Chains A and B, each alone.
Chain A
Amino acid sequence: MPSLIQMPDVVMTEILAKLDLPDVQSLRKTCWDLRNIIDDLKPDPRVLRSVIIVDTDFVDWKLNFDNGYYIYPEGKFIRLQYNKVENGCQVVWYRSDGRREKFLENRDYLEVFCEDFKVNMTFQQSEMENFIINFEYFKFVHEKFLEIESQLMPRLQSILSGRNPLKTINFSMVVFKMSSILKILPYLDARTIKRITITDSKQGPVPDIGKWRIDELMELAHWKNAEELDIIDVFVEDVPVERFLGFKRIYIFVEEVNMEQVLEWKE
């Protein structure tokens, strides 16, 4: 008698396309045969928006799949939180029927988040509307933030560079170091990007970080392809105005003289 495992690829593809991301992950864990079938067929989870918020003791990750705001299992919206706790990491899954918690002993919360990010985004092929990373910053824990940045960003960079480029229309990052953006943006698909938003979370100068230079950013194909650019709460250093002429609309703080030029040139 036929069963799920005996279904031809064309049927399996059709079935997998009807499942929500958590259900595909669950099915992947039932047996090796199905895991291999799923990994061969690479069902696209069709994430529409991915929002990652990083703080000193947690990472909050929200995933939208449609324009509804009902949370899984009632709807499709998924929210996960990776908390740094004593002796490990606590993963919280916010659900319509309450929250589920899991404690992972001796695991680093950034590491656990990165593993989840990698697994859940592996098969993402369709174009996202938004890909957002918000890196909080508070002056009084300056050292702590530098440490987190140095642990998280190279990991995300290696995940993103190890796959075909994620497609997103809007890319937004809140950071306190320019270099964080260069660990992410170059690995997104330059062809789909329409809008880039960069916000400085420092809200004022911090001694050993200094003003931003965007030379490297300007060399990216993403910079050339995007139509809109917002650089918010940042004082950018030495920007040749003509480098902005490719955009339909920009918002940026530069030296005062240049700002006037930009306004004049771009109206």
Chain B
Amino acid sequence: MSVEPEVPIVQVEEVRENPVLYKIISSDNHVFTISEHAVKLSKTLWDLITNLGLTAENALDNPIPVENVNGKNMETIVQFCERHKYDEEEPEYTNYIREFVLPEWDRQLLSIDNEELFQLILATNYLDIQKLMDYCCRVIGDMAKDKTPEELRIIYGIPTDAEDDALERSASDSPGPSG
């Protein structure tokens, strides 16, 4: 009877988990810690970390202030990045429209009202997190599916033609092309 060689059981997570943590301070002075793999999803933050020369030894002593993003958005962003830090890279984009359904976890995370979502998008844009941008825009885009212009105005809070005209008239006294 042969004996199976004993292989040490190692949790995959343990091996992958990188002990380096970074500290981020939001515009309203909330402090967040984020792992190295997660923070790499933000091109802006990772560039900053590289430029500042932060290392495993000094990372926690040097919090990174992010003045354009408030604590609420930063919390969502940190959660998102931690969740997706080990994702494989997306396949190359083709001219086919990708069939894509947002994972349930992310749908829940992004179930916030439109104004909050647009704020999150601006923060995501600033921090340059491609995947979160893709997901947020997907949520925004899904709202438009098969809607009339009138419905879209309500959904996105777009001013009506009349409001627009009034704005335009007040903004400029010069005659239009027909006037």
Contact = CB atoms under 8 A, between A and B. Distances in A.
Interface of A: 1-8, 10-11, 14-15, 17-20, 22-23, 26-27, 29-34, 44, 46, 48, 65-68, 72-73, 76, 126-127
Nearest to A14: B137
Nearest to B140: A15
Contacts of B149: 26-27, 29-30
Interface string B123-149: 001000000011001101110111111
Contacts of A48: 95-96
A31 B164 contact: yes
Contacts of B133: 11, 14
Secondary structure type dominating chain B contacts? helix
A73 B145 contact: yes
B156 interface: yes
A121 to B, nearest CB: 15
A4 B122 contact: no
A31 B159 contact: yes
Nearest to B154: A30
A72 B168 CA distance: 36
Interface in B97-145: 97, 99, 114-115, 118-119, 121-122, 125, 133-134, 137-138, 140-142, 144-145
A19 B141 contact: yes
Interface in B72-110: 95-97, 99
B115 A2 contact: yes
A67 B137 CA distance: 23
Interface residues of B, number: 34
Given A11-B133, A31-B160, A66 B121 contact: no
B95 A127 contact: yes
A20 B118 contact: no
Contacts of A1: 115, 118-119
B19 interface: no
B95 A126 contact: yes
B144 A11 contact: no
Contacts of B158: 3-5, 30-31, 33-34
24 contacts: A1-B118, A7-B122, A11-B125, A11-B133, A14-B137, A18-B138, A18-B142, A19-B141, A20-B145, A26-B149, A27-B149, A30-B158, A31-B158, A31-B159, A33-B164, A34-B158, A44-B95, A48-B96, A66-B96, A67-B96, A68-B99, A73-B146, A126-B95, A127-B95
